Structure 1
Amino acid sequence: MNTKRTKIIYKNGYPFFEFDEKIYSPCMFRSFRPTPANVSLAHLAGIEVFQIQVAGQLNGMDVPYSLYGGVWQDKGVYNFKNFDRQIEMFKKFAHGAKFIIFIQLDAPEAWLEKHKNSLSSFYFLHTSAYDEEWKNDASEYLCTFLKYCENTYGDDILGYGISAGRSTEWFSGTNYYNENTKKAYENYIGKKCDKIPEIPEEVKNGEIFRAPESEEYKFLKFASQGANITAEFFAKEAQKVINHKKPLGLFGGYYNLKDSLLNVNDFARVWDSGNIDMIFAPASYDDFRQIENSACVTVATDSLKMRGIVHINELDHRTELAQYPMEHPVTQNRMGYRMAEGNIIDDCYDNSFDAGMVLRREFASSVVRKSMLWWFDFFGGYYASPEYEKLLRDCVKIYNGLKVGEFSHSVAEVAVFADAESNYFIKDKADVIRSFCYNGMKEFVKCAVPYDLYNLCDIEKIDLQKYKLCIFLNSFKISKSQAEKIKNSPCKKMWIYTPGCVENDKINFDNIGKITGMNIKTVHKASDCAIDFDGCEIKFEKAVNPYFIVDDDGAERLADYKNTNGCAFAYKNGNFYIGSGNVPEKVWRFIAKKSGVHIYCDVSGAFFADERFISYQTVHTENIEIHLKEDAEFCDLFDGGIYKSENKILKYTAPKGTSKLFEKISRKGKYNEKNL
């Protein structure tokens, strides 16, 4: 058994891999179609660490995860040659590289054929969580494969990832019925039940809330734990082999996806297990990928840091070179992806300028958040040009330069809190989860305001004294101790729609007033909550019931509902309250300014900053002015040149959409070109 150890070490606060006394940059490369072409291109660009996917199943687009085939064939039957062929290709075309091995634990077809009472964990992970036969056989495979890897390629492998469930990201479908699930649920509630409770997701008369005391809520909360109970189990099994000598990671813990049931889980269970060192997560999808928007993360990265877990940001944006025919699906189990039809991939950037600038932006976001990262070349060829090879090389060079210089702290004056548990109380088809977290963050991150991002469950461990503003995106359930901590903090607070409405396992809308410190009237009527704020309309996509009016003479009236004279947006004693989701950038900027938060730029764009770096991108102007807290001199890391601010304003000119990354020149002396 290989005995060499990989450590995740920090240089000036930035994470690196250390193996056999050598430090490796965590700028990595991943592909479902690794070939000599893209592997050698990435390696020539300076990438030293590659992810290898070991899977024999189909992905969510109904094509194979890997053309090399899986290792797990059936119970106790393993084909290691499929893995050998893949790793030998990597070693040949990326000589001297190291690897992160991803092991997919969903049962192969041959196993499922022999176990008629078992369901595929890829689609039904919440039911497979209680399938002991699958878990035992998958665990046997996991441990056997880990031993093989360490004995055969231990000197080449830096770490591992474990995968299961839909998209290998520990998601599940919503068909929960299975005899194993029923028995586990009976143990959970401590009594027999005739059948598993139904989970009606239809919304009538805008009534979006699920009652916490209902049987459907109890079952949903139980079912949503399954994925993470399973992940925790496999992580513990893996550590029996690697014994914490190599870092172990998994996907999971997303807060700002647009679905509820795919996303809701008690992922803190896995984070707190002590068996996970890395959380892989894709950079935020869809709207966030557009050049006119800003980068965002899908996990609460600052909650990960509190636990000593490193965040690995997956940059899976599709360049214009990805506009080619997708492979045809090999089954009919389609999951709604338009690419599964064999058509031209069309969710790509139109040109290399847009794609390159967004990739610069995502890299800068990762640097400021002190995250590891990888570029995900889904099906090959995304980076097959000299321009992209240079971009990868520049990024790797910049990240390696982080090892020298000065330690850099966060400059965030805003803390943002998201709450996974609150999603339990919203019916999935209400289509409002996205309005709080996804759409809220899409607008907030364009305000040029640095922020720290946490899960609400961690708030009692956080020093709120360092923030001027705390934003609560979807905090429907707030414990008494959490409420007390928040109330006693000196920062301003921003509340949305129904904060604290779940009290003592019941919906109690009267509690909103206690949380916000305002008298708030509940109106039991369906409304889209359309608000007019300084000519800007704010509303839900669909009507919700109830809606709320601030009925408090002591509150500052900031905006009204359009169809009534009721106050919808107000401020009182350090608390902001707004009665609708989909809070736009204009409102976020207003709240930040009123809270005394430093806003670095008046023009909407993508802005990231810490003590050492400033990054900005906008499509609205070529003449940029960044408002600093103090004058400083900067080096442009991508395009070159030295810039000096005057009167605390950093000015520069660049084509619209250009993403810049500036490093502050050390106060101890002249900037060292070797940093690059």
Structure 2
Amino acid sequence: MKPMDDDIHSRQRTGWKVLASNSAFFSKLGFTYDPPRFDANGELIRFYDTERMLRYHREMFARGVKLHSSLLFSGWIGDGKFDYAETDRVLSAIASLGPGVRYLPRVKFNAPLDWGKNHPEELCVYFDGPRDREGIRNLAGGLRQDILGYDGDGYYAINYRDDRPNRNGLIANQSFSSEVWRRDAVDALIRLIRHVQATPWHDMIIGWHIAYGNCGETALWGGFNQPVMRTGDFGISHRKAFFDWGMKCYGSLKKMRETWLLPELTRENIEPPPPSLRQGGTRNAEEFFRTSPAAQICIDYDRFLCEKDAESFEILCRAAKTADDRPAGGFYGYYLTLPRAAYAGHCAYDRVLNSPWIDFLCAPAGYYRRGVGEPGGEQVCAQSITRRKLFLDELDLRTHLAQEKPRAANWPETRYLLWREFARCLMYDNNFWWMDLGGGWFDSPEIAAEIGKLEKLARRLRKRSVPHFPAQVLILSSDEAFLYHRPSFDLHRDLMQETPAELQLCAVTIDHYRTSDLNSLPLDRYRLVIILNSFEPDSDAAAILTKGVAAETPILWMYASGRVHGDDPSGLPLKAFMPPPEFGIKFGNLPERRFLSEEHEYPMFGIDVSDSEDITVLARYSDGTPAAAECRRNGRLTLRVAVPLLSKFEFREILRRAGIQPYREGFAACYGNDRFHGIFEDGGSSFEFYEKLPGNQSRHLA
């Protein structure tokens, strides 16, 4: 057994090293209808011309990109039915790139449509859908089955017009808690691996990208943008799984009934909490932050969804690694850009990061403020991930050649985006893949040459030691916090997206970790610490920060962080603030900014300064209510910004109060470490990029 063990470890190490040290190229080669559908001739519906897609792969291969990725069909064409013709076609195409090519296949395991007909009790059912087996079966495969996970005119592909609109679904595809789906998906995965192992192409595969759910991104059906009332899984097996989970959690039916305020609860009549209880805008803080006893079932249901998603993800990765001894992973953890992250199943970070079976995570680059002259960003807490796993960033980068919008307007804008995304990823040693999601996004000599230049630079930078991160500011966020408030598109935009974006434009370098990383972070190196959304109970963040952060480093608590489920650790108590239809905020000597309250539908707060003489007000609402303040106690400066609507100008003032000197006077996004530094102009397409050299020297590259 020893030689086999050595061989296994060698393949694992090889795959890991390739993923860690090579950027990749991804195209729509291999895209088929998901779940699989067939045309009038019984042929599998697939999109995009193979030779055309392969031409883009060849160009990237010639420019030094040796790691390639695409969709690889699982072969699972029906319930208990398999066909690998499409699989072999893609494998052969990738292999034709030449010696030295490496391949990371993305394989989807959503159940075929006839599987749902045969297993209706295992399907996800929306709130307005049927609860009985035959009622679900009658909808399976029809137009009231949401087979994509989102409303649309059909499956989107350039030059393809779908004959099946996907709107107003009452049921979806497989439930993530379904043991039958997990069993059959694992079977399909192992069959696929056994098939590939018997082909000449097996050796080029360096890992398995596991995909399922909404867009293949391990997200529960309807988790991205479905109407509220279709959010939830009320399917037969899922309801029973929720009951069983509750019994395990609470230990007895009596305790579960008492906690969930359901005195007649049984395994037969259980229903997840309705969308009206779990979602919807409100300014009532008790309802919004789920602090009443009636909301405990909502907290538990979201936790259950996250655990079941992470469990399914782990089961499939374990099957892949056991069968093929190569790294396995997939998309996960989108809480920075997904308001319904808990419902989608993406808030079980610790379960996923602690799993020995999951080797890498990936996510598309953030879609919020990612254009030219904007900072870009991540959908996940990438630095937290890279402490325990590989992270691969999907650069959905729309060049001026893309048909899809928004996109760059011209070559200078495309070049700006190429270098900014390169710097953003390499700052934290994240890997990435260049993605052509439409066909031809990089199909020009100047873009190909620039990619070749960046790839050459990447190889040089990656050979140098692991970079020290010279970040001045630390942002802390929490995936766990999403269990403890209703999803809010308005609050999420303001607090989780707009706030980091505005801060990023202040020409400072920033680290971003989760609050659960606090115990092992070197906190004493930061000049400012910002807590975004610590709404979870029993958080020990304040105590850890007080002990670990240097005494001269200010701590800034954003919005209601730290005070929802316990004593306010900031020393700056909040009070309810009911905004008028239009309100303003004035920060110091800066001009007042005006807002419409209907665009910010969540509980708002002011700061109560009535009982303290040591509080300095920094900003006020237009009626005079304090909106931001600071106090100095026991030698430490603490700040509270009660409303998550700070601009880059206001952040600049906070940075000044913290004694932080920006890298430049104007506004810009800065990405860099001990190996390089990139400065990307706010609102324009100019940028600078320097490679740092020994002896405090640097080389200007762009």
Q: What is residue 542 of structure 1 aligned with on the other side?
A: 600
* CA drift at 1:236: 2.1
CA distance in 1, matches of 2:367, 2:615: 38
2:236 is equivalent to residue 179 of structure 1: yes
CA distance in 1, matches of 2:583, 2:242: 38
Q: Following superposition of structure 1 onto structure 2, how do residues 284-303 of structure 1 map, counting pairs within 5 Å?
A: 284-287=366-369, 289-303=370-384
For the 8 Å contact 2:111–2:174, the answer to whether it is kept is: no
CA distance in 1, matches of 2:237, 2:509: 47
Equivalent residue of 1:611, what SS? coil
2:299 is equivalent to residue 217 of structure 1: yes
Q: Following superposition of structure 1 onto structure 2, how do residues 260-275 of structure 1 map, counting pairs within 5 Å?
A: 260=340, 261-262=343-344, 264-275=346-357
**Partner of residue 614 from structure 1, selected from 668, 671, 677:** 677
Equivalent residue of 2:207, what SS? strand
For the 8 Å contact 2:309–2:345, the answer to whether it is kept is: no
**Alignment TM-score, normalising by the size of structure 2:** 0.77
* CA drift at 1:356: 2.0
Q: What is residue 82 of structure 1 aligned with on the other side?
A: 86
2:178 is equivalent to residue 160 of structure 1: no
Q: 1:518 to 1:165 in 2, by over 3 A?
A: same
CA distance in 1, matches of 2:583, 2:605: 7
Equivalent residue of 1:85, what SS? helix
Deviation per CA, 1:84-107, whole angstroms, max 9, x where unpaired? 111111222354311011121111
For the 8 Å contact 1:499–1:515, the answer to whether it is kept is: no
Q: What amino acid is the match of 2:475?
A: V
2:666 is equivalent to residue 603 of structure 1: yes
* CA drift at 1:606: 2.0
Q: What is residue 72 of structure 2 aligned with on the other side?
A: 54
Equivalent residue of 2:429, what SS? coil
2:614 is equivalent to residue 554 of structure 1: yes
Q: Following superposition of structure 1 onto structure 2, how do residues 195-594 of structure 1 map, counting pairs within 5 Å?
A: 195-200=271-276, 201-204=279-282, 209-212=288-291, 213=293, 214=295, 215-242=297-324, 245-260=325-340, 261-262=343-344, 264-287=346-369, 289-307=370-388, 309-323=389-403, 345-405=404-464, 407-429=466-488, 431-477=490-536, 479-488=538-547, 489-490=549-550, 491-503=553-565, 511=567, 514-523=568-577, 530-533=584-587, 534-537=590-593, 541-551=599-609, 552-562=612-622, 564-573=623-632, 574-594=637-657
For the 8 Å contact 2:122–2:175, the answer to whether it is kept is: yes
CA distance in 2, matches of 1:445, 1:139: 42
Q: What is residue 102 of structure 1 aligned with on the other side?
A: 106
Q: What amino acid is the match of 1:43?
A: F
For the 8 Å contact 1:28–1:47, the answer to whether it is kept is: yes
2:75 is equivalent to residue 71 of structure 1: yes
Q: 1:148 to 1:538 in 2, by over 3 A?
A: farther
Q: 1:384 to 1:523 in 2, by over 3 A?
A: closer
Q: What is residue 10 of structure 2 aligned with on the other side?
A: 5
* CA drift at 1:27: 1.5
Unaligned runs of 5+ in 1: 10-15, 56-69, 324-344, 621-655
CA distance in 2, matches of 1:133, 1:390: 49
Q: 1:614 to 1:669 in 2, by over 3 A?
A: closer
2:22 is equivalent to residue 26 of structure 1: yes
| Structure 1 stretch displaced more, 364-373 or 109-118 | 109-118
Between Structure 1 and Structure 2, which shows a larger proportion of helix residues?
2
CA distance in 1, matches of 2:245, 2:20: 45
Q: What amino acid is the match of 1:249?
A: G
Q: 1:187 to 1:25 in 2, by over 3 A?
A: closer
CA distance in 2, matches of 1:667, 1:455: 35
CA distance in 2, matches of 1:156, 1:278: 18
Q: What amino acid is the match of 1:304?
A: I
Q: What amino acid is the match of 1:663?
A: E
Q: What is residue 257 of structure 2 aligned with on the other side?
A: none
Q: What is residue 42 of structure 2 aligned with on the other side?
A: none
Q: What amino acid is the match of 2:600?
A: K
* CA drift at 1:409: 0.9
Deviation per CA, 1:100-134, whole angstroms, max 9, x where unpaired? 11121111223223323332686389971221111
Q: What is residue 650 of structure 1 aligned with on the other side?
A: none
CA distance in 1, matches of 2:687, 2:619: 35
Q: 1:598 to 1:144 in 2, by over 3 A?
A: farther
* CA drift at 1:380: 1.0
CA distance in 2, matches of 1:281, 1:237: 22
CA distance in 2, matches of 1:517, 1:580: 17
| Structure 1 stretch displaced more, 277-286 or 540-549 | 540-549
Deviation per CA, 1:422-463, whole angstroms, max 9, x where unpaired? 222332356212211111111111111111111122212222
Deviation per CA, 1:569-594, whole angstroms, max 9, x where unpaired? 11112211111113211222222222
**Alignment TM-score, normalising by the size of structure 1:** 0.80
For the 8 Å contact 2:386–2:430, the answer to whether it is kept is: no
Equivalent residue of 1:502, what SS? coil
Q: 1:151 to 1:660 in 2, by over 3 A?
A: farther
Q: What is residue 191 of structure 2 aligned with on the other side?
A: 144
* CA drift at 1:471: 1.0
Q: What is residue 45 of structure 2 aligned with on the other side?
A: none
Deviation per CA, 1:332-352, whole angstroms, max 9, x where unpaired? xxxxxxxxxxxxx33222212
Q: 1:251 to 1:518 in 2, by over 3 A?
A: same
* CA drift at 1:500: 2.0
CA distance in 2, matches of 1:284, 1:583: 20
For the 8 Å contact 2:190–2:320, the answer to whether it is kept is: yes
For the 8 Å contact 1:529–1:580, the answer to whether it is kept is: no
For the 8 Å contact 1:416–1:453, the answer to whether it is kept is: yes
CA distance in 1, matches of 2:486, 2:337: 15
CA distance in 2, matches of 1:159, 1:523: 52
Unaligned runs of 5+ in 2: 30-49, 125-146, 150-170, 223-230, 248-252, 254-264
Q: 1:578 to 1:102 in 2, by over 3 A?
A: same
What percentage of residue pairs aligned between the two structures are identical? 22
Deviation per CA, 1:534-559, whole angstroms, max 9, x where unpaired? 11527563243352223132112111
Residue correspondences, number: 582
Q: What amino acid is the match of 2:72?
A: V
* CA drift at 1:198: 1.2
Equivalent residue of 1:32, what SS? coil
CA distance in 1, matches of 2:462, 2:490: 45
